[in-house]
Amino acid sequence: MKIILFSREDSRHLPDELARVMNAIDVHGFDFVVNREFAPILEQASGRQIDGSQIYDEGAIFEQQEAIMVCCGGDGTLLEGARRLHGKRIPVVGINSGRLGFLTAVAGDGIEQLFCDIAEQKLRIEERSMLTVEGSIPQSEAQLPALNEVALQRHG
């Protein structure tokens, strides 16, 4: 199983939680990759060096087989992680390090159990529809994927 770790630079992270994430990955022998913005934060928190081959950039394409994305942050981080999968049917789960967590399933005290459930294939997968929003959007992509909601705002 490949773990695709994702977080944003501006997410709140507790070093102890990130160290536990890395320890759980080691305990279960998972292969993992981490996005470039999150790698230095993860290295500092866990005290270990991440090999360059385990770091991916924004446009990375992931194989669907035997992969799961684990987002560390809040609901916004989970939504951003899902967007970066570019429509691939890869399960996404979140570790909540924010204040509220409607989409992020696991709090910091559930990290070890989450990775046990991944290893034992005990996670229940809920299918969600993705939307594509198209329009004349200044200084943005012509098409934007959405998982949870779309907000329209009048400009000018």
Residues known to be catalytic: 75
Provide CB contacts within 8 A for 53, sequence distance 6+: none
**What letter does residue 108 receive in the DSSP assignment?**
G
Backbone angles phi, psi at 87, to 5 degrees: 80, 0
Residue 43 Cα to chain centre, angstroms: 17
From CA 104, how far away is CA 94, in angstroms rounded? 4
Bridge partner residues of 6 (DSSP): 71
- Count, residues in the chain: 156
